[in-house]
Amino acid sequence: MTTSQPDSPYSHGFATIAVAVPSHRLADPAFGAERTIALLQQATEQGAAVVVFPELGLSSYSIDDLVQQDAVLEASLRALESVIVATRSTVPLVAVGLPLVLGSALYNCAAVIHDGELLGVVPKSYLPNYREFYEERYFASARDAPFDTVRVLDRDVPFGNDLIFEARGIPGLAVHVEICEDLWVPIPPSTWAALAGATVLLNLSASNITTGKADYRRALSSAHSARCVAAHAYVSAGHGESTTDLAWDGDALITENGSLLARAERFTETEQVIVADIDLDRIRQERLRTNSFNDSVGDYAEKARSLRRIEFHVTAPQQDTDLRRNVERFPYVPVDAADRDARCREVVNIQVQALSTRLSTSGINRLVIGVSGGLDSTLALLVAVETMDRLGLPRTNVLAYTMPGFATGSATKDRAHILMKSLGVTAEEIDIRPSCLQMLEDLDHPYARGEKVYDITFENVQAGERTSHLFRLANMHGALVLGTGDLSELALGWCTYGVGDQMSHYNVNASVPKTLIRHLIRWMVSAQNYSSVTSEVLAEIVDDVVSPELIPAGDDGVMQDTEASIGPYELHDFFLYYLTRFGYRPSKVAYLAHHAWGDRTRGAWSDLMPAEHRHQYDLDTIKKWLRVFLDRFMRSQFKRTAMPNAPKVGSGGSLSPRGDWRSPSDAKATTWLDELDSN
């Protein structure tokens, strides 16, 4: 096997799939072959490993009784032969549609071809004979075929709807083919193929268009790819089909595990080749993790074992190309405004519902929270206020404390006071410096002797004193301590363990990453649900530098900057998502991050993201911070093992040992770092 180039998507577990919509000329297979070969060449030049054409694309679909004419049938065979010849010394596996007389019956078929060889013939299983369809007038069904091998163009080839075409040379690429109506039935034949290991499901269709049908096609393809944990490529007939009683829109789409990757332009007279890079690693990882999928494999193991596997040998395309799929910079936050609004609304609802239930079941109606004037405590405070409103309790039941330490800035403290006052909660200030100084004296720390030693002990004494005060305040007032630490900090271990900000009675932010918190607060401001005073201070908070404010500013007046120390949260959240959600190797995470973040002009940004915050990072910078992430993520597991209860918010957003993530506290990052270095 020849490996692909390092910058090629094929080097990172992707395979390029193409759907081709040619022009049709009724009952003219020679023209069909000509257009098929031309589009095949385009797909080949774009690095496709698989190309699929419409149902009966060589003869055209809407020729009615003409499909039984010997002249058309013989011309279709000649057209097939010319396509087979055209595939010699090319990479793609090709699926084309044509009518074939086999035995004493006519079948609606897909011919599967690779490198000048006809690998197999797949007959249509379900023949629609209702409304505008009359296929049983012409064709026999796959189930009625008395043979599983047929002779076509002087060669014997496998025949049936039970064929899986497995690529040797592109790991994980296993293709199943079915035709149009086969997808619309309760159990499509490709379902069995997916259970048997097929990862890419092709559907050759000639579906005519009626009002609303395009939306249904998308839903059908997306749902089928999700249920089968697979990629699905669908292509329909377009310009040139008969409009005697029907119309055709040339629809074609590629979906993967429920997501639409690419779609053709409908109602155009121009031929199209639509490509997308399928993530074979994602399909494999999702199947590994989804035990119910494998339970279904076990339930239908006999059926799955009955499918036949046909190997073909392929060398992945060598050219370096950009990844042809959208990789969101912020995997936890949709870019589309409507989707983002719905997501943000749902996140807040999850947080509020979880907290209100915890208060109700505990019989406690008060909350204690530390408010720093930073992002995390701000979101937690807003959730606490909304919870009291929904429970019909006074906002004064939220006992909010700002607790300045040795490095607390006046601007931060002022924002905390303005926020607490404008929200109508019970607001207090406790200066923790005297108690911190007492502990530092007890420890004989150099700072207590007047030395400017700002080590981890100095920092954690302050974090610990804040948490200690909050728990004792909760005891005194019959309240729960509401945690504020977020998912990003838990992932990086950027929190003080035990008697520190890692601990609380309940934490509404524990599965909300830092990037989502920023977007949530921006969204709350844009929704205009708060007073002008509250909105103004929220806008200041969301645009400020992230800082724990535990070390006093230096002689230059610069405050402690978290992201300058451990790296940008926007990159760390990206790393976290792909490492924990999909288990990708670090080199692939870096590849995806560079695609998403390498060029600020590529891809859409949220309209709530200010221009000055639209960053880009080169590959060396991405790898630098990925190394930091991998090391910190593995070393800080012990903090997550003992984390308090918290609601899971997103599909890629929980590190609770009682939820998504179980990991030993003493694992090392060596394997991940070695993989990043070697690849």
Query: Of these residues, 109, 180, 228, 436, which one is catalytic?
Result: 180
Of 202, 214, 326, the C-alpha closest to 604 is 326
Of 386, 408, 410, 409, the C-alpha closest to 397 is 386
Are 626 and 566 in contact by the 8 Å Cβ rule? The answer is no
What's the CA gap between 49 and 47, in Å, rounded? 7
User: 366 in helix, strand or coil?
Assistant: coil
Query: Of these residues, 55, 256, 286, 386, which one is catalytic?
Result: 55
Tell me whether residue 124 is one of the annotated catalytic residues.
yes
Characterize the bridge pairing of strands 149-152 and 155-158. Answer: antiparallel
How many CB atoms lie under 10 A from the CB of residue 599? 13
Sign of CA dihedral 56, 61, 67, 70: negative
What's the CA gap between 503 and 202, in Å, rounded? 51
The token pair at 114 is: 């690779």
Which strands, in side-by-side order, build the sheet including 480-483?
A: 426-429, 398-402, 367-370, 480-483, 506-507
What's the CA gap between 179 and 181, in Å, rounded? 6
Sign of CA dihedral 359, 362, 364, 370: negative
- Sequence-distant (≥ 6) Cβ neighbours of residue 41 within 8 angstroms: 86
What's the CA gap between 480 and 498, in Å, rounded? 17
Are 477 and 366 in contact by the 8 Å Cβ rule? The answer is yes
Tell me whether residue 55 is one of the annotated catalytic residues.
yes
State the Cα angle at 400 between 553 and 654, rounded to 5°.
80
Amino acid sitting at position 320: D
Are 247 and 238 in contact by the 8 Å Cβ rule? The answer is no
Q: What is the H or E stretch that residue 18 is in? A: strand 14-21
Give the 3-state DSSP-derived string for 658-677, with helices as H, strands as E and coil as C.
CCCCCCCCCCCCHHHHHHHH
Which strands, in side-by-side order, build the sheet including 252-256?
A: 259-263, 252-256, 231-235, 200-204, 174-179, 163-168, 308-313
φ, ψ of residue 8 to 5 degrees: the values are -80, 140
What's the CA gap between 675 and 677, in Å, rounded? 5
Sign of CA dihedral 426, 432, 433, 438: positive
- Listing DSSP states for 60-81 in one string gives -STTGGGGG-HHHHHHHHHHHH
Catalytic sites, residue numbers? 55, 124, 180
